[in-house]
């Protein structure tokens, strides 16, 4: 690959050396929390809310809001990376890990290798199951000690912080186990099927 | 499920291309348009964006996304950049870049916030500040391709001087091809101003927008509070959620 052209006079911010190992290539740090979504924010209705695990046509487990809140809760502090190039360090979340959901559903191990997440508003995203288990992902209901606000995905969103943040689907309602990987919403529109920020997998073919 | 009309850049990898600045336009005291010649550019659809990558002499790189403001029919690609004082990239693009300078970009990106002739109308566009850029691409496309579906643009700016593309918008509205433009100014207005003078709200959308029964294809772009309030108001007015597409930016989303 040829050398990129120098942008005459461009210096950029002072390098954030301390954090260098925590900011993936092409990303920059932000202290606020930008909102990105493709359509209107759904109204949260806790009374009719539920979260389900599903495989093919069968229901593996389903929890209403109160039942979900009674499942073992996990707190994590993680860095998040949005494909639009912002990263945010040390974000604090609480929720139920996918491991805890599998256990609550009485499953010793996940039934398949891939998953599709389904959300209010019709959004979907695909994630390999190995990226969801062993503490790597949760269904989060709290951010910085507060209930997750609707524009940030409340009442509950997926949190899979080691992938670009579009994978951490807002307003998540259902995790469907599938046998082979298929593209979700943004993945059908040119975004990368997997989305590893450290390999800068932003778009198809990256 | 909303339509999924195609992949950003086809099946291959989105390659970095080198763009050259052929013209700079002072749109407002804060916003500047960069008109770019991009050898190898594959074309775009109205509403898509691209990623810009700047490289400093020591190799440091910074990337940001910008909406494309030009129509697919236009000879050059236009980006309109709002200067964010504390930003890293926008001060460079709005103050330091000169005609003839080169930088990298790749795209087009995003196949959802897109309007084409096939999507039809009527077309309801709601913009705040520099959120006008992708909607301007749609209006320019509508005019260039003579897609004369009824269209309304409701555009919120701080002051009269902050209205981006003001004269071109006046000309487009004067074409008599079914486009109506309503400006609202939120921080003061000149004497004799006949437009709206407050933040966009449900009453304004009800009185100057397009009725839910006409099923407008709706695109909203601007700061998050404007987008959230507009989308929520339209739902309250009976609009279908799957006809409403949003694009948002915060302080960093457009820096």
pTM for this one?
0.92
User: For B153-181, what is each residue's pLDDT tens digit?
Assistant: 999 999 999 999 999 999 999 999 999 99
The answer to whether the Cβ–Cβ distance between B111 and A189 falls below 8 Å is yes
Cβ-Cβ contacts under 8 Å, A125 against chain B: none
- Kindly tell me if the per-residue pLDDT of B237 is higher than 50: yes
Tell me which residue range forms the domain holding B105.
17-109
- The reply to whether omega before B122 is within 30° of 0 (cis) is yes
Give the CATH number for residue B202: 3.40.50.80
User: Among the three residues B76, B91, B109, which one is the final residue of a domain in this structure?
Assistant: B109
Rounded Cα–Cα distance for residues A68 and A56 (Å) = 22
Q: What is the ipTM of this complex?
A: 0.88
User: Among the three residues B88, B109, B130, which one is the final residue of a domain in this structure?
Assistant: B109
Nearest by CB to A203, which of B8, B64, B231? B8
Q: What is the DSSP letter of B112?
A: S
Give the residue from chain B lying closest to A6, CA to CA. Answer: B55
The answer to whether the Cβ–Cβ distance between B246 and A12 falls below 8 Å is no
**Cα angle B225, A197, A9; round to 5:** 75
What does the pLDDT read at residue B230? 98
Mean pLDDT of A50-66: 96
* SS3 annotation, chain A: CCCCCCCCCCCCCCCCHHHHHHCCCCCEECCCCCCCCCCCCCCCCHHHCEEEEEECCEEEEEEEHHHHHCCCCEEEEEEEECCCCEEEEEEEEEEEEHHHHHHHCCCCCCCCCEEEEEECCCCEEEEEHHHCCCCCCEEEEEECCEECCHHHCCCCEEECCCCCHHHCCCCEEEEEEECCCCCCCHHHHCECCCCCHHHCCCECCC
**Nearest one of B67, B145, B155 to B112, comparing CA atoms:** B67
What does the pLDDT read at residue A32? 79
The answer to whether the Cβ–Cβ distance between A5 and B61 falls below 8 Å is no
Instruction: Give the tokens for residue B20.
Output: 């050259």
Q: How many domains does chain B have?
A: 2
User: Does residue B72 sit in the same domain as residue B144?
Assistant: no
* Residue B4 maps to a domain: no
Instruction: Give the tokens for residue B26.
Output: 């002072």
Sheet order of strands, B244-249 included = B179-185, B151-157, B123-128, B217-223, B244-249
User: Does residue B78 sit in the same domain as residue B40?
Assistant: yes
* Residue B1 maps to a domain: no
Rounded Cα–Cα distance for residues B172 and B149 (Å) = 14
User: For A152-194, what is each residue's pLDDT tens digit?
Assistant: 999 999 999 999 999 999 999 999 999 999 999 999 999 999 9
A60 φ/ψ angles, rounded to the nearest 5 degrees: -95, -25
> Under DSSP, is residue B196 helix (H, G, I), strand (E, B) or coil?
strand
| Range list of H helices, chain B | 90-91, 132-144, 166-173, 202-208, 224-236
How far apart are the CA of A134 and the nearest CA of chain B, in angstroms? 31
> For residue A144, how many C-alpha atoms fall within 13 Å in the half-sphere facing its CB?
8
- Match 């109204």 to its residue by tokens: A43
Nearest by CB to A189, which of B56, B64, B110? B110
* Residue B255 maps to a domain: no
Could you say which residues from 139 to 178 on chain B have a Cβ atom under 8 Å away from some Cβ of chain A?
none
Mutation target to probe the A interface, by most A beta carbons within 10 A, among B12, B56, B58, B247 is B56
The answer to whether the Cβ–Cβ distance between A7 and B103 falls below 8 Å is yes
User: Does residue B217 sit in the same domain as residue B238?
Assistant: yes
User: Does residue B36 sit in the same domain as residue B152?
Assistant: no
User: For A60-75, what is each residue's pLDDT tens digit?
Assistant: 999 999 999 999 999 9
Mean pLDDT of B237-249: 93
Round the average pLDDT of chain B to a whole number and report it: 92
Domains and CATH numbers, chain A: 49-181 (3.90.420.10)
Instruction: Evaluate whether A206 touches A192 at the Cβ level (below 8 Å).
Output: yes
Mean pLDDT of B65-76: 96
Q: Does A151 touch chain B (CB under 8 A)?
A: yes
What does the pLDDT read at residue B248? 83
* Residue B6 maps to a domain: no
Q: Does A28 touch chain B (CB under 8 A)?
A: yes
Q: At what angle do helices B166-173 and B132-144 cross, to 10 degrees?
A: 40
Instruction: Give the tokens for residue A91.
Output: 């974000």
User: Does residue B124 sit in the same domain as residue B86?
Assistant: no
What does the pLDDT read at residue A17? 55
Could you say which residues from 78 to 107 on chain A have a Cβ atom under 8 Å away from some Cβ of chain B?
84-86
Instruction: Give the tokens for residue A17.
Output: 């050396």
* Residue B5 maps to a domain: no
User: For B191-214, what is each residue's pLDDT tens digit?
Assistant: 999 999 999 999 999 999 999 999
């Amino acid at each position: 690959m040829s050398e990129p052209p120098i942008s005459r006079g461009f210096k950029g911010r002072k390098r954030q050396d301390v954090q260098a190992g925590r900011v993936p290539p092409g990303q920059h740090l932000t202290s606020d929390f930008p909102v990105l979504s493709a359509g209107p924010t759904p109204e949260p209705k806790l009374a009719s809310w539920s979260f389900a695990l599903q495989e093919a046509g069968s229901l593996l487990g389903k929890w209403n809001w109160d039942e979900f809140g009674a499942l073992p809760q996990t707190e994590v502090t993680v860095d998040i990376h949005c494909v639009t190039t912002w990263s945010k360090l040390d974000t604090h979340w609480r929720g139920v890990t996918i491991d805890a959901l599998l256990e609550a559903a009485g499953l010793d191990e996940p039934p398949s290798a891939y998953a599709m997440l389904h959300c209010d508003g019709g959004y979907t995203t695909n994630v390999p199951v190995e990226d969801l288990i062993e503490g790597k992902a949760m269904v989060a209901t709290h951010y910085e000690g507060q209930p997750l606000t609707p524009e940030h995905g409340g009442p509950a969103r997926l949190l899979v912080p080691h992938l670009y943040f579009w994978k951490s689907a807002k307003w998540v309602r259902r995790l469907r186990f599938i046998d082979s990987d298929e593209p979700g919403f943004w993945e059908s529109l040119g975004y990368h099927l997997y989305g590893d920020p450290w390999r800068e997998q932003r778009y198809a073919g990256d | 499920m909303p339509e999924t009309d195609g992949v950003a850049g086809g099946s291959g990898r989105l390659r970095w291309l080198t763009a050259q600045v052929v013209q700079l336009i002072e749109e407002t005291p804060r916003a500047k348009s960069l008109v770019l010649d991009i050898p190898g550019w594959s074309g775009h659809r109205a509403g898509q964006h691209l990623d810009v990558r700047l490289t400093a002499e020591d190799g440091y790189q910074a990337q940001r996304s910008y909406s494309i403001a030009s129509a697919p029919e236009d000879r050059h690609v236009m980006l309109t950049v709002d200067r964010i004082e504390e930003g890293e990239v926008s001060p460079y693009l709005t103050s330091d870049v000169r005609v003839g300078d080169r930088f990298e970009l790749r795209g087009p990106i995003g196949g959802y916030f897109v309007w084409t002739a096939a999507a039809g109308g009527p077309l309801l566009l709601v913009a705040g500040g520099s959120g006008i850029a992708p909607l301007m691409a749609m209006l320019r496309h509508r005019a260039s391709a003579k897609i004369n579906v009824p269209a309304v643009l409701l555009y919120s700016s701080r002051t009269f001087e902050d209205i981006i593309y003001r004269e071109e918008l006046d000309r487009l509205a004067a074409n008599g091809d079914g486009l109506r433009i309503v400006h609202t100014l939120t921080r003061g207005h000149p004497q004799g101003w006949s437009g709206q003078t407050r933040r966009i709200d449900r009453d304004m959308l009800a009185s100057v927008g397009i009725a839910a029964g006409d099923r407008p294809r709706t695109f909203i772009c601007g700061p998050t509070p404007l987008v959230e309030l507009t989308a929520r108001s339209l739902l309250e007015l009976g609009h279908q959620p799957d006809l409403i597409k949003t694009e948002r930016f915060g302080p960093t989303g457009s820096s």
